[in-house]
Amino acid sequence: MSSPQEDFNLHNIAKAQFDKAVPFTTKLEGWRGLAEWLFQPERIIKVTLPVEMDDGYVHTFTGFRVLHDTSRGPGKGGFRFHPSVAEDEVKALATWMTWKCALVDVPFGGAKGGVRCDPTTISWREKRRITRRYIAALGDNIGPHTDIPAPDLYTDAQTMAWVYDTYSMLHPGKNNLAVVTGKPLDLGGSEGREAATASGLLLVIEHMIAVGALPPLNGLSGVTVAIQGFGNVGGHCARLFHNAGAVVVAVSDRHGGVYDPNGLDVTRLGAHLAETGSVVHFPGTESLAVGEVLEAPCDLLVPAAIETQITAENAPRIQAAVVVEGANGPTTPGADEILRDRGITVVPDILANTGGVVVSYFEWVQNLANKSWPAAEVGRLLEEKMRCATDVVLATRAGLLDGFARYQEAWTAVRENDPPLPPPTLRTAAHVAALERCRRATESRGIWP
Ligand code: GLU
């Protein structure tokens, strides 16, 4: 799935996306170096963790926590267990969290963390010891008003309970619930948090369809959907799209995929997964190799696994009319251009998958207020946030297209040797809207001292 000429470094990908947005910000001339400040992470923490494994061996793990930007509030973002965890990956993910929080207008900056390990081979107890040692090593670099972790790849409500417990043991005598979100319901978690990313993604698509922003689609009934990844995001997406009348034709997990042009029985698929540990060999379906799900015939493709899955190599073979990014960074800049030229709409991650952090924000507010909101209230507020963010992105893009000749002129005046400015995609518009919010916050605060 890799193409030798493409750069798969996530931080370079985040930078390429950012650079596409800068010429469209209203103050191209007046940025006074702020563009660089807004892109660079504020703080990078690397920790080395000795952890006693079940067999007594002391394994040395490496962990990171990156705080990208605090112009609009404390850091917010998940942490993951994954073999690919590295400084540049975490920096990129923290950067995207800043844009996401700005876009949905929650009072946080971006952050992200991770421990490099293979979560599929470590035991439950080992995972607990890694989590505790990682959180202890981060010390007061996390906190309810400094940086608030949440779940991400291979971390879940149980992991967040360990985060809370560890932090609480180190800060006795305080209400520490707001130090982490995505906690279990019994421990200050919020209704709706577990399915929030998928719920938010569906709300974005429903709203875009309702306002005519996804032209080939005029409703979800009968729309065919392929989903890469069957974890928290992909699994809930399959259920929610199915319930909304769509036909889920293909899904995959890290072992492989399954395809049925007549639609998969999502409930039975869930039972098959619980029984066998994978979606593969689901009876009555055609088997797909890992990655093939992306090329399955469908109207709507949801990459909901990991980064850099849709590349310049496979983008020409994507058959969907719309790609909705459930994962962070699933599409490379090279693929973005190919999809744009092929008329395939990409609903970008920094809009499509923000439902998780929105409900994380609700959880944080509930914790600070010692309250617990009913599920219906969480659902109503999530819908409001997702619709509003979608409208902002659509309006931003319409505005940029309206003034395109002017932006083009300003660009060629300063960059006469560079290629002409490409028309803004939804990803660029989302970046522009988010960046403008961060810039305005930074400018109204002023540069200290
Ligand atoms: N890890 C999730 C994300 O990438 C959630 C972050 C949060 O809730 O803080 O958006």
- pLDDT tens column, 144-177: 999 999 999 999 999 999 999 999 999 999 999 9
Res 25: pLDDT: 87
Catalytic sites, residue numbers:
112
- Cβ atoms of 166 and 137 within 8 Å: the answer is no
pLDDT per position as a tens digit, 366-408: 999 999 999 999 999 999 999 999 999 999 999 999 999 999 9
pLDDT per position as a tens digit, 16-37: 999 999 989 866 555 778 899 9
Q: Over the chain, what is the mean pLDDT?
A: 96
Which pair of structure tokens corresponds to residue 5? Answer: 């000429």
With respect to residue 148, please indicate whether it lies within any of the assigned structural domains: yes
d(CA 64, CA 113): 5
With respect to residue 78, please indicate whether it lies within any of the assigned structural domains: yes
Residue 78 Cβ inside 6 Å of ligand 1? The answer reads: yes
Determine the distance from the C-alpha atom of residue 418 to the mean position of all C-alpha atoms in its chain, rounded to a whole number. 31
Distance 382 CA to ligand 1 centre (A): 14
CATH of the domain at 140: 3.40.50.10860
The tally of domains found in the chain comes to 2
Q: For the whole model, what pTM was predicted?
A: 0.97
| Residue of 147, 160, 197, 306 to mutate, ligand 1, most atoms within 8 A of C-beta | 197
d(CA 379, CA 199): 9
Distance 396 CA to ligand 1 centre (A): 24
Residue 161 Cβ inside 6 Å of ligand 1? The answer reads: no
With respect to residue 84, please indicate whether it lies within any of the assigned structural domains: yes
Residue 152 Cβ inside 6 Å of ligand 1? The answer reads: yes
Q: What phi, psi does 256 have (nearest 5°)?
A: 155, -170
Q: What phi, psi does 230 have (nearest 5°)?
A: -130, 40
Res 88: pLDDT: 98
Give the SS3 label for residue 75.
Answer: strand
- Cβ atoms of 323 and 347 within 8 Å: the answer is yes
With respect to residue 268, please indicate whether it lies within any of the assigned structural domains: yes
Res 2: pLDDT: 47
Q: Does the pLDDT of residue 233 top 90, yes or no? A: yes
Distance 224 CA to ligand 1 centre (A): 27
With respect to residue 426, please indicate whether it lies within any of the assigned structural domains: no
Q: Where does the pLDDT of residue 412 fall: very low under 50, low under 70, confident under 90, or very high at 90 and above?
A: confident
d(CA 348, CA 426): 7
Residue 62 belongs to domain spanning:
41-176
Q: Which amino acid is at 176?
A: N
Residue 356 Cβ inside 6 Å of ligand 1? The answer reads: yes
With respect to residue 274, please indicate whether it lies within any of the assigned structural domains: yes
**Domain end (from 141, 176, 211):** 176
Based on its alpha-carbon atoms, the radius of gyration of the chain, rounded to whole angstroms, reads 21
Q: Name the pairing type of β-strands 43-52 and 58-69.
A: antiparallel
162 and 202 inside one domain: no
Handedness of CA 416, 418, 420, 426 (dihedral sign): negative
**Domain end (from 146, 176, 206):** 176
d(CA 444, CA 438): 10
pLDDT mean over 70-81: 98
> How far, in Å, are 145, 187, 210 from residue 368 at the CA level?
10, 13, 35
Distance 428 CA to ligand 1 centre (A): 21
164 and 272 inside one domain: no
With respect to residue 240, please indicate whether it lies within any of the assigned structural domains: yes
With respect to residue 144, please indicate whether it lies within any of the assigned structural domains: yes
- Cβ atoms of 302 and 246 within 8 Å: the answer is no
Res 30: pLDDT: 59
Res 437: pLDDT: 96
Residue nearest to atom 8 of ligand 1 (CA): 357
